Structure 1
Amino acid sequence: MKFLIIIPAHNEEHNLPFTLDSLQQQSFKDFKVVIVNDGSTDRTSEVIKNYTDSDPRFETVNLGKSAHQPGSKVVSAFKNGLKTQNINDFDIICKFDADIILNDNYLSEVEKAFVSNPSYGLVGGLLYVEQNGNWVYEGNSNRHHVRGPMKAYRKECFEAIGGLRETLGWDNIDSILLKNLGWEEIVLPELHVKLIKVKGADYTIKPADYYGRYFYFLGLNRFLTYVAAGKEAMKLKSPGFLFQIVGSYEKCKSQNLELKISKDEQKVINEQRWNMFKKKWFKL
């Protein structure tokens, strides 16, 4: 199988070499890497040139500066890289971040999983972060969900779900839609992906506003949004946090902001979330 790996990069001069070095050191060699330089103002372009000049498997796309928008900006950069390639030349489409380090057997193990299991549509490892000199499991999501920094899709699955959506919540929308179409999302727990920096550290959006917007763009109805907001507020033991999330959600709703999912897809997402709610609270 052949991999197409697209890496959006914005001001990643210090982190990107680790990611690209780990790709060059892969035991599996049949891949192409497209690094999308997304309006960087540091030395990211020079870092990229070191690899594109010496390795024909590495290419680059340069974009102009644009405003940071959680979710949509990175997917937009990804799509700009994707459109430079013929997707039919590849079997696996990957969206990787510019600040991860992969084990040298990462691609080979992902390929084995896809070859051995035709129903696998999305495969990835587990994220680890550094704490006090040790690499520990990040733990921000369940162990059965492939996180945004290291998505690898079977081409047929990627096309079936309509690719990635330029919106907050894209890396959960893909998971829900592919499962609805009969594909499986698989995490290989033995594959540890090192995340060099903490996600969201450069976001200017406030946490409550983030959650409210996330639930809106995910297409959740009011009931499920309020339940999810209550869950987040309980974590912080802050009733005020619930009302802030709800306020952000309702503001988006009143503005009728454009969703990147269809009515049918919204229905699928809400049904999946409702089934999860029933299973957890009513054991149904």
Structure 2
Amino acid sequence: MKTYIVIPAHNEERFIAKTLNSLVSQTLLPEKIVVVNDNSTDDTEKIVNEFVNRYHFISIVNTDSSVDHMPGSKVINAFNQGVNTLDDTYDILCKFDADLIFPLNYIEKITAHFKKDETTGMVGGFCYIEKNQEWVLENLTNKDHIRGALKAYRKACFNDINGLKSAMGWDTIDELIAQYHNWKIQTDTSLQVKHLKPTGNTYNPKAKYKQGEAFYTMRYGFWITLIASVKLALLKKRPSLIRNYLIGYFKAQRQNTPFLVSKTEGQFIRKLRWNKMKKKASLVLRIHQSFFTITSF
């Protein structure tokens, strides 16, 4: 299977060489790597060009966008610039961040997952960050969710979801719409990717309401938005974010912000979300019942 990789990069001079070194050392090499140098003001372009000169399958695209690091829109606009330079003869299309170190068998293993099951539409590993000189799982990750930093799509799935949405929440919408089209999402806990720059640490302050807006545009509705806001804020250990998320949601509602999914897709998404929450609640209840049964002896 032919793998194409697109890497949006904005001021990544500290990390991009490590990312590319991990990719050119893979046990199964990608067919093409495109780095999109998105309005960088540091030595990102110079470093990438050194790889372009050494590896025939690496290319660079220079593009100018807003200097504001707004979640979703900036990175996907850059990604799309890279995709536009590629032909469509690939089997697997990857959107990778420019601050990752991949295990050397990463591409080989995700390819194996795609080959094993033709209904698998997306595959990914997990991001690990360094804390106290140890690499630990980045806690913003559900076991059934692939982080936006390391997405890999089967071509047919990518076409079914009509590419990636240029908005915050794109890396949730893609999975929800993929499931709407009966594609499976496959994660592999053995694929531990080093994430050198924690998620969101360079986001523009103006983005603080964007998460709530994303919940609205995905047609979550108020109650799912409230639950999702509480969960995400607690994962980030910042309960005050709940307020920002809800303000963003109601702001989008007042402004009639366009939805990113259709009405039918929204119904599917809400049903899927409620079913997952019920399963988790049922599991927690069973664990508590088992605990009290054991302690009662």
What is the TM-score of this pair, normalised by structure 2?
A: 0.88
The superposition leaves residues 173-212 of structure 1 with CA deviations (integer Å, 9 ceiling, x where unpaired) of: 1111112222111111111111011010011237862432
* 2:232 is equivalent to residue 225 of structure 1: no
Name the CA distance, whole Å, in 2 between partners of 1:193 and 1:123. Answer: 13
- SS of match in other structure, 2:76: helix
Contact kept? 1:40, 1:65, Cα under 8 Å: no
Contact kept? 1:38, 1:63, Cα under 8 Å: yes
1:124, CA displacement in angstroms?
Answer: 0.9
Name the CA distance, whole Å, in 1 between partners of 2:19 and 2:158. Answer: 23
What amino acid maps onto 2:87 in structure 1?
Answer: N
* 2:112 is equivalent to residue 112 of structure 1: yes
Name the CA distance, whole Å, in 1 between partners of 2:233 and 2:196. Answer: 28
1:243, CA displacement in angstroms?
Answer: 4.2
* 2:186 is equivalent to residue 186 of structure 1: yes
Q: 1:6 maps to what in 2?
A: 6
Name the CA distance, whole Å, in 2 between partners of 1:110 and 1:28. Answer: 10
Contact kept? 1:166, 1:260, Cα under 8 Å: no
CA distance 1:241–1:102, shift in 2 (3 Å): closer
Name the CA distance, whole Å, in 1 between partners of 2:142 and 2:171. Answer: 13
Contact kept? 1:216, 1:253, Cα under 8 Å: yes
What amino acid maps onto 2:56 in structure 1?
Answer: P
Q: 2:35 maps to what in 1?
A: 35
What amino acid maps onto 2:262 in structure 1?
Answer: S
1:127, CA displacement in angstroms?
Answer: 1.0
Select between 272-281 and 41-50 the one with higher mean Cα deviation. Answer: 272-281
Select between 184-193 and 134-143 the one with higher mean Cα deviation. Answer: 134-143
Q: Which runs of 5+ in 1 are unaligned?
A: none
1:8-23 equivalent positions in 2, closer than 5 A: 8-23=8-23
Contact kept? 1:167, 1:217, Cα under 8 Å: no
Name the CA distance, whole Å, in 2 between partners of 1:230 and 1:2. Answer: 41
1:226, CA displacement in angstroms?
Answer: 2.6
Name the CA distance, whole Å, in 1 between partners of 2:238 and 2:97. Answer: 33
The superposition leaves residues 43-76 of structure 1 with CA deviations (integer Å, 9 ceiling, x where unpaired) of: 1110111011111100111111313321111111
What amino acid maps onto 1:193 in structure 2?
Answer: V
1:1-284 equivalent positions in 2, closer than 5 A: 1-66=1-66, 67-87=68-88, 89-205=89-205, 209-232=209-232, 242-281=242-281
Contact kept? 1:173, 1:218, Cα under 8 Å: yes
What amino acid maps onto 1:129 in structure 2?
Answer: I
Select between 173-182 and 20-29 the one with higher mean Cα deviation. Answer: 173-182
Select between 67-76 and 146-155 the one with higher mean Cα deviation. Answer: 67-76
Contact kept? 2:169, 2:211, Cα under 8 Å: no
Q: 2:290 maps to what in 1?
A: none
Select between 37-46 and 259-268 the one with higher mean Cα deviation. Answer: 259-268
Name the CA distance, whole Å, in 2 between partners of 1:259 and 1:57. Answer: 38
Name the CA distance, whole Å, in 2 between partners of 1:110 and 1:208. Answer: 34
Q: 2:293 maps to what in 1?
A: none
Name the CA distance, whole Å, in 2 between partners of 1:189 and 1:52. Answer: 32
Select between 208-217 and 25-34 the one with higher mean Cα deviation. Answer: 208-217
CA distance 1:4–1:278, shift in 2 (3 Å): same
What amino acid maps onto 1:209 in structure 2?
Answer: Y
Name the CA distance, whole Å, in 1 between partners of 2:123 and 2:233. Answer: 31
Computed over aligned residues only, the root mean square deviation of the Cα atoms, in angstroms, reads 2.2
1:120, CA displacement in angstroms?
Answer: 1.1
1:28, CA displacement in angstroms?
Answer: 0.7
Name the CA distance, whole Å, in 1 between partners of 2:153 and 2:45. Answer: 27
CA distance 1:110–1:244, shift in 2 (3 Å): closer
Task: After the TM superposition, list the runs of 4 or more consecutive aligned residues in structure 1 that deviate by more than 6 angstroms.
Answer: none
